[in-house]
Amino acid sequence: MTSPTPAPAPTRTVDLSGGLSLTIQEYGENTEGTGVLLLHGGAGPRTMAGLATALSEHVHAIVPTHPGFDGTPRPEWCDSVPDLAGVYLDLLDALGLTGVMVIGNSMGGWIGAEMALRDNRRRLGALTLLNGVGIHAHLKANQVLDPRTMAPNEVGNLSFANPAFRPDFSTFSDAQRAAAAANQKTQSIYGGAGFTHDPKLRGRLHRITLPVLVVWGEEDGIAPVTYGRGYADSFPHARFVPIAEAGHFPHIEQLGATLGAIGDFVDTVIKPDETA
């Protein structure tokens, strides 16, 4: 059975440099000058709504829409994952937030890693990847599949362990199909030649000194669990937590287990003194 649809969160736009107007949804209240930034992958911001709703019981949660997704404007200069990383660091500057945990799923994890490499104003406090992409695997068998080469139903089957969570594309309206195609085109622009990775990213991850949590759905048919372990091993200090009975979206299929992994990470790594 799928989870209930979260209530819509307040949406607003934030004007940033370069003429970019960024659409964000905010969950919970900003009372401590910190928060959680949740970055979606190619399936769009709605995939982060359930996790943001749950986290908002404890912290201010922000879900931006990558420029160009869901019909939002994208300036021509914003056409790579590093560009998005700069946009979101500018957003944290504009919101005056520090100690932020960035949680990124799929391409959102790639963006989060690039943010951590560029965070010269120390806005970030931790990084969490949920079946993130971005690195080139050492072994061919561990590579991320390219969804552009597959039919939508095949992508859905590989992305979710539980058939109940797989979208039924036969029920999509023409407008929904067009929106999904437009999002995939935007994702292709950001992904560049490698689409799912930057071949040089892995070699830079040793410079990230933030606490890192890598959560991985064990039954992901898009980015296998061996790829996830390799991702975690690329950081100097990272915790790897596999999630059973989950695919590419562990925070959707196994929300409780994902929240548990994040909560334990906070209690034992980020703020151990507060729980001692």
In a domain, 95, yes or no: yes
Query: CATH code at 159?
Result: 3.40.50.1820
Task: Say which DSSP state 270 is in.
Answer: I
What is residue 137's predicted lDDT score, i.e. its pLDDT? 87
Element containing residue 183 per DSSP (H, E):
helix 174-191
In a domain, 128, yes or no: yes
- The mean pLDDT values, 10 residues at a time, for the chain of 276 residues are 61 96 96 96 97 97 98 97 98 97 98 98 98 91 90 95 95 94 96 95 97 98 97 97 98 98 97 70
Residue 68 CA neighbour count, 13 Å, CB half: 22
Q: Can you give the three-state secondary structure of 69-109, one letter per residue?
A: HHHCCCCCCCCCHHHHHHHHHHHHHHHCCCCEEEEEECHHH
pTM equals: 0.95
In a domain, 5, yes or no: no
Other beta carbons less than 10 A from residue 238's beta carbon: 18
Domain containing residue 219: 11-275
What is residue 6's predicted lDDT score, i.e. its pLDDT? 59
In a domain, 2, yes or no: no
What is the count of structural domains for the chain? 1
> Could you tell me if 103 and 128 are in contact, meaning their C-beta atoms sit under 8 angstroms apart?
yes
In a domain, 64, yes or no: yes
What is residue 2's predicted lDDT score, i.e. its pLDDT? 45
In a domain, 125, yes or no: yes
What is residue 1's predicted lDDT score, i.e. its pLDDT? 40
The CA-atom distances, in angstroms, between 145 and each of 20, 137, 177 are 31, 11, 22
In a domain, 6, yes or no: no
> Could you tell me if 60 and 30 are in contact, meaning their C-beta atoms sit under 8 angstroms apart?
yes
Task: Say which DSSP state 121 is in.
Answer: T
Smallest Cα–Cα separation from 35: which of 4, 63, 65?
63
In degrees rounded to 5, what are phi and psi of residue 274? -80, -15
> Could you tell me if 248 and 160 are in contact, meaning their C-beta atoms sit under 8 angstroms apart?
yes
In a domain, 4, yes or no: no
